[in-house]
């Protein structure tokens, strides 16, 4: 490895270590405090971001009394509301800044999430010739899933890329969850309806069906990669109740 590549990887690793949870504040239409959403990567994020943008779009004065559909919520619209209504904060900062705000997120079976991460960020990137986001951590485009798991298992959360960092890291402060409502991707429809009833969120667009976590991931794991992954994500498995699903 030449110096230029080493420096590039070093800077990337430093950037990874500075990552913070991506938090949305969604004010209520009546001027109330509304609710908050913490993005949990590889757990329905694209669909939920689009739903959050639609929720905010409906509150604009120019849209009063007008029916708005997801056809109008383009990626540019989502990005615009992202810049206006979200930021990056450590979990304890979120709770200090919004102490009474109800906060929700969705979680996913950690082993399903890890394979989805590999399929999307390694396999797909390799096939398309796109940017490989984990290169600085020793991941290559031709790497097998077993090899990928072996690398992930050695990287603690404080040095892990956000897409395979433990979900609990994004959602906890001082050992306690900062979220008031946690839905599961595996039962997304039911949990989203409950969220809608409580907070008036719009229907979900289910924009990326592969992220709904229903595919059988178990066949992709060898005995060794299964052991490594379950140990690496033991905290998530126990905290979010996936003991019977791995």
Summarised one tens digit per residue, pLDDT across range 22-50 is 999 999 877 778 999 999 999 999 999 99
Question: What pLDDT shows up at residue 26?
Answer: 96
In the chain, which ranges are continuous DSSP H helix? 3-17, 45-57, 75-85, 91-97, 110-118, 124-128, 145-153, 167-171, 188-199, 223-232, 234-239
The pLDDT of residue 126 is: 75
> What integer best gives the mean pLDDT of the chain?
91
Answer with the residue of higher pLDDT: 6 or 106: 106
pLDDT value of residue 58 = 92
Q: What confidence score (pLDDT) does residue 241 get? A: 97
Tens digit of each residue's pLDDT (9 = 90 or more) over 128-177: 776 788 999 999 989 999 999 999 999 999 999 999 999 999 999 999 99
pLDDT of residue 14: 81
Give the range among 66-70, 125-129, 178-182, 194-198 with minimum mean pLDDT.
125-129
- Rounded to a whole number, what is the largest CA-CA distance in the chain? 61
CATH number of the domain encompassing residue 209 = 3.40.50
Domain limits at 187? 3-245
Number of domains in the chain: 1
Region of residue 92 (phi > 0: left; psi between -120 and 50: alpha; otherwise: beta): alpha
Residue 91: per-residue pLDDT: 97
pLDDT of residue 209: 46
Whole-angstrom Cα distance, residue 63 to residue 51?
A: 16
């Amino acid at each position: 490895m030449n110096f230029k590549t080493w420096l590039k990887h070093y800077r990337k690793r430093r950037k990874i270590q500075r990552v913070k949870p991506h938090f949305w504040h969604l004010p209520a239409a009546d001027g109330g405090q509304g609710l908050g959403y913490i993005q949990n990567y590889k757990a329905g994020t694209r669909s939920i971001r689009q739903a959050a943008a639609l929720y905010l779009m409906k509150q604009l004065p120019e849209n009063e009394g007008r029916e708005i559909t997801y056809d109008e919520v383009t990626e540019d619209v989502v990005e615009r509301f992202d810049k206006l209504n979200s930021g990056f904060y450590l979990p304890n900062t979120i709770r200090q800044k919004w102490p009474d705000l109800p906060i929700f997120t969705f979680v996913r079976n950690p082993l399903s999430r890890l394979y989805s991460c590999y399929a999307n960020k390694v396999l797909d990137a390799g096939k398309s010739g796109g940017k490989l986001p984990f290169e600085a951590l020793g991941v290559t485009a031709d790497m097998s899933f077993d090899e990928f798991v072996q690398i992930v298992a050695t990287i603690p959360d404080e040095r892990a890329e956000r897409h395979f960092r433990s979900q609990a890291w994004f959602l906890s402060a001082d050992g306690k969850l900062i979220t008031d409502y946690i839905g599961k991707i595996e039962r997304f429809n039911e949990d989203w309806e409950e969220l809608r009833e409580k907070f008036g969120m719009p229907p979900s667009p289910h924009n990326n069906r592969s992220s709904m976590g229903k595919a059988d991931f178990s066949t992709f794991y060898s005995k060794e990669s299964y052991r490594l992954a379950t140990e690496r994500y033991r905290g998530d498995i126990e905290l979010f109740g996936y003991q019977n699903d791995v």
